[in-house]
Structure 1
């Protein structure tokens, strides 16, 4: 990625989809305000679309454009701090069938396009991309060497519980207050999830492409004060996983909002 700042004219693009692939828009979309308060958020893909509960517009934009943190969105309105929405998008049967035939990466692209087009249509969103020099963390192997365990390909990873969540299977990662648990995940995936926790882009610089099991425990910044609060996230990464976070600056793709409107309820 080039270090020079690039400013592109505002866009509101409906991406073209090759023939034979899923249509890049939902057949039915529902957007409703949610007044339940800040707790109880959820979002993610469903078999026939997408469903989000009690989320902000910033969260929706972050998800649709695969941004690592919401801080990479510039120009969000003041009302985004408090406004929450319930959003559901559903594909028709033909689109669902076609999507199932696509390789996983292509299917993800199609789902992202559907989300982007929904935001363009319902929020009248217009954006442009801007490469900015911003603080980032590079994730490196610590001087003492890597301490994570390489995953066993034969491990079926039976269901485990963390809080109210149950997760199983290779490639799954679970989060709780002051803990990360990974089942056969890449360090690049760990870096992505650390980005959200640290509200700063974390870039995997380890050069390692394997899959690993790990359990990380640390003291969150908002943890109650105790005589033994535990290590910080930075210290825990070095001591428990053999990984080091280096603070630096680098070119980061950001989204700048040029125009948006609150949606009409339906």
Structure 2
């Protein structure tokens, strides 16, 4: 089952008590009746230093290190949400207080994950562990609802796009400092990458191109870091670059989307 399908099923589950989720997911990974709940062996939670501007997520081996994340960002990561706008309600410090987390996966679970081989979905496992941590340390409770949200539709702006079909090469998509290089990339993947761009704000980008298959393309733009695009910039802004270079555009609109309503959350006891 694809990761997006897993996320949709989790979000449609109605009222969610997060402390139960780790156990349910672990039972999906193992047919044994005594499957160990999916959770970190140990985790430290500390407030981010006020003078720190660092924001980072690193997963290596059996360690997960998160720096400078707000509770909204942690919820977004734990539930694999595409936009922060999919989180409703919550305490007044939801975006203000930031946290540093160091979490360790115990050796028994790490061994069982390695034994799963190609069937293992590491990202989904870590998401479920983070859900359990948020339940235990932040006393987080959420429920799923449907809401019409502002979105950008990724659409074709002209009769001919400047995308090169590619069905043979392995997929890759890299984005760095205003340059996107895509190989064998679908428009769904393109839309998901655009959702993370600062220029689109909290709006999700949804593929509405009707283009199937995968494509090669390069895109260059001048990132808008909050002050607009300078007149002397070599490349245009993201919206103009999409239209001029690829024959695509972002069309504002609204669409129904699953959202999480925060029912309860508390500041954790810091380590």
TM-score after normalising by structure 2: 0.79
- Structure 2 partner of 1:190: 190
Unaligned runs of 5+ in 1: 156-169
Superposed counterparts of 1:1-266, under 5 Å: 8-9=14-15, 11-15=17-21, 16=24, 17-18=26-27, 19=30, 23-37=37-51, 39-100=53-114, 101-103=116-118, 106-150=121-165, 153=168, 170-176=171-177, 178-197=178-197, 198=200, 199-206=202-209, 207-220=211-224, 222-223=226-227, 226-229=230-233, 230-266=235-271
Deviations 1:161-210 (A, max 9, x none): xxxxxxxxx5242232x443445433222211211221201111233231
Unaligned runs of 5+ in 2: 6-11
What SS is found at the alignment partner of 1:67? coil
The 10-residue stretch of structure 1 (84-93 or 11-20) with the greater mean CA deviation from structure 2: 11-20
Q: How far, CA to CA, are the matches of 2:102 and 2:70 in structure 1?
A: 14
Q: Is the Cα contact below 8 Å between 1:149 and 1:214 reproduced in 2?
A: no
The 10-residue stretch of structure 1 (146-155 or 21-30) with the greater mean CA deviation from structure 2: 146-155
Q: How far, CA to CA, are the matches of 1:22 and 1:240 in structure 2?
A: 51
Residues matched between the structures, number = 247
Q: Is the Cα contact below 8 Å between 2:173 and 2:180 reproduced in 1?
A: no
Gap change, CA 1:40 and 1:110, over 3 Å in 2: same
TM-score after normalising by structure 1: 0.80
Q: CA RMSD in A?
A: 2.8
Gap change, CA 1:93 and 1:108, over 3 Å in 2: same
Q: How far, CA to CA, are the matches of 2:121 and 2:128 in structure 1?
A: 11
Deviation of 1:13 after TM superposition, in Å, equals 4.3
Q: How far, CA to CA, are the matches of 2:61 and 2:36 in structure 1?
A: 14
Deviation of 1:34 after TM superposition, in Å, equals 1.1
What SS is found at the alignment partner of 1:14? helix
Greater helix proportion: 2
Q: How far, CA to CA, are the matches of 1:106 and 1:22 in structure 2?
A: 17
